[in-house]
Amino acid sequence: MTTLASSTAFVPRPLAPFTEEGVFIRRALLHSLRNTESAVMAIMLPVMLMLLFTFVFGGAIDGSGDYVDYVVPGIILLCAGFGAAATAVSVSQDMTTGIIDRFRTMPIRASAVLTGHIVASLVRNLIATGVVIGVALLVGFRPNGGVVDWIAAIALVALYILAITSLFAAVGLAASNAEAASGYGFILLFLPYLSSAFVPVETMPAWLQWFAAHQPVTPLVETIRALLLGGDASTRWPTAVAWSVGIIVAASIWGALLFRRKAGRR
Amino acid sequence: MIEVEKLSKSFGRQEVLRGVDLTVEAGEIVGLLGPNGAGKTTLVNILSTLVLPDSGTARVAGFDVVTESDEVRRRISITGQSSAVDELLTADENLRMIGRLSGLSASSSRQRSAELLARFDLVDAARRRVASYSGGMRRRLDLALSLVVAKPVVFLDEPTTGLDTRSRRELWAAIRTLADDGAAVLLTTQYLEEADQLADRVALLDGGRVVASGTADDLKARIGDELSLPAPTLDDVFLALTGRN
Ligand SMILES: Nc1ncnc2c1ncn2[C@@H]1O[C@H](COP(=O)(O)OP(=O)(O)OP(=O)(O)O)[C@@H](O)[C@H]1O
Ligand SMILES: [Mg+2]
């Protein structure tokens, strides 16, 4: 009985700054480790896609064998998208199970739960990106960018991961359940296919060219390609960054509104 | 510690609470009874800052639940009717997470987790994911999570539902200890024996109002007189007062 008369007296004092973030990032990373299947899929699928594009379609699309160099930047982004989609499911699960109610009755910023999922997604996807680049090097990817180019390219990838993850977090809040969340999330994964990631925009029908040229993935892919393979990265990076930051801001506002509605008091 | 006055709440056109009055003093256990759908959970959710009332006032530990919800949250612990545990984490990880979020250091959280795992008989399962737990084990973890730090006001919404007899007895003793240490405890239950044994006072919620309150013995005596029953039980009181007899 003595253990219940708590060894830790009740002290109503505020938490140290960022305690919630630390706890919830740790929680989301633990969740990621437990979801081994989705983690394996998030790495396996892009790797398989890369092998598919380089060995099967590669010959038909571009006989010279340089296709692997062309396609890797697109695969990197595709990979980032796969891993981020799991965020929609995690967020939706959190909102539909009882745990969020426990957080809501505690004197904490419950919205830090979302920060946890987003940071965990960034970590997961950067690891997956590393694996994908490693496999790409094995199958003949020959980048010639310098250290600064690589840092810039990875920073862009991280920005893209953050953008798409915040979007998926908001989708997870909007969806009525986890299945719906993963269903909506899937739509976003088509964006890389309708960009210059796999084939040059010029090869597409005119109406699709317009869409492909003006959607966020194209400037990102082109900039990363230019950075890693030697090209002029200066023209498209502002568009790429503007898109990513714009998406992060819009998704955060949307997410905050949804969170207030879903986790607020009724 | 808990002061509720003329509290009302509707969901759409359904009036769930229609002017509830209730008080719970420090060190007191009040059992909230009522048929299914009477609004017990709704009342507990309003008092624990999950749901906004439509009108009336509710103060918990001296603070208004609507306008001073952060102050209220510092002073309450709640075990809701539906479980509020993280299924992907282990019991130990759940307890330590709540410890950290309650302002304990990493080492105090670990120590407190070990104490509560032992107290709630979860040591063997401590390193298994909650998803693999039985209903009763999950309930015990839920209760343990609410007791990571001692709070002056404790809400328990049907805490013993799904617990075996031994766990139930132990929980009763634990709740008694909380009250003896000065906490105000509001608990809802469908087991009238539980209210009889544990609660200092019971309040019966029906039709959106508290239709009777007092010690179990008072209510039994009253109903015994009214219905000329020789030895009324709390079940008789419940049935008589909720108009289902
Ligand atoms: N979020 C909600 N939206 C609409 N109706 C609700 C909501 N929450 C509760 N209700 C309704 O309010 C009424 C009271 O529900 P509540 O859960 O408070 O009852 P209760 O006394 O706890 O019942 P039980 O003994 O079954 O737990 C029910 O008719 C329920 O359908
Ligand atoms: Mg209820």
The verdict on residue B176 lying in a domain is: yes
- Do both B64 and B175 map to the same domain? yes
The verdict on residue B223 lying in a domain is: no
**Segment B222-230 mean pLDDT:** 77
What is the structure's pLDDT at A4?
46
H runs (alpha helix) in B76-164: 91-101, 106-119, 135-146
Out of B103, B135, B150, pick the residue that ends a domain. Answer: B150
CA–CA separation, A174 and A196 (whole Å): 30
- Do both B6 and B125 map to the same domain? no
Expressed in angstroms and rounded, the spacing between residue B34 Cα and the centre of ligand 2 is: 9
* Domains identified in chain B, total number: 2
Q: Is residue B16 in contact with ligand 1, taking CB distance under 6 Å?
A: yes
- Do both B48 and B165 map to the same domain? yes
Q: Across the beta sheet with B153-157, what order do the strands follow?
A: B76-79, B153-157, B184-188, B29-33, B201-206, B209-214
**Segment B152-181 mean pLDDT:** 91
Q: Which of A8, A10, A99 sits opposite B86 (nearest CB)?
A: A99
H runs (alpha helix) in A139-235: 147-174, 178-188, 206-214, 217-229
- Three-state SS for B201? strand
Q: How many Å lie between the alpha carbon of B72 and the closest alpha carbon of chain A?
A: 8
- Do both B1 and B71 map to the same domain? yes
- Do both B177 and B135 map to the same domain? no
Residue B52 exposed, middle or buried by CB count within 10 Å (0-12, 13-18, 19+): middle
Residue bearing the bigger pLDDT, A28 or B244: A28
The verdict on residue B131 lying in a domain is: yes
Confidence band, pLDDT 50/70/90 cuts, at residue A233:
confident
Expressed in angstroms and rounded, the spacing between residue B124 Cα and the centre of ligand 1 is: 36
- Do both B165 and B200 map to the same domain? yes
CA distances in angstroms from B151 to A88, B20, B79, B199, listed in the order given: 35, 24, 13, 19
The ranges assigned to domains in chain A are 19-263
CA–CA separation, B84 and B1 (whole Å): 25
The answer to whether residue B232 scores a pLDDT higher than 50 is yes
- Do both B164 and B57 map to the same domain? yes
- For residue B209, report the phi and psi dihedrals to the nearest 5 degrees: -135, 160
The verdict on residue B233 lying in a domain is: no
The verdict on residue B245 lying in a domain is: no
The verdict on residue B120 lying in a domain is: yes
Q: Within 13 Å, how many C-alpha atoms sit on residue A98's CB side?
A: 15
Q: Is A261 on the interface with B (CB under 8 A)?
A: no
Out of B114, B129, B150, pick the residue that ends a domain. Answer: B150
- Do both B131 and B155 map to the same domain? no
The verdict on residue B240 lying in a domain is: no
**Rounded to two decimals, what is the model's pTM?**
0.88
**ipTM summary value:** 0.91
The answer to whether residue B162 scores a pLDDT higher than 60 is yes
Confidence band, pLDDT 50/70/90 cuts, at residue A59:
low
The answer to whether residue B179 scores a pLDDT higher than 70 is yes
CATH number of the domain encompassing residue B69: 3.40.50.300
Q: Which of A23, A35, A265 sits opposite B97 (nearest CB)?
A: A23
SS3 letters across A53-69 = HHHHHHHHHCCCCCHHH
Contact between chains at B101 and A23 (C-beta distance less than 8 A): yes
Contact between chains at B149 and A1 (C-beta distance less than 8 A): no
Q: Which of A1, A15, A23 sits opposite B177 (nearest CB)?
A: A1
H runs (alpha helix) in A4-104: 19-34, 36-51, 58-61, 67-96, 99-104
- Do both B66 and B1 map to the same domain? yes
- Do both B35 and B137 map to the same domain? no
CA–CA separation, A44 and B177 (whole Å): 54
Domain residue limits at B134: 85-150
CA–CA separation, A199 and B225 (whole Å): 89
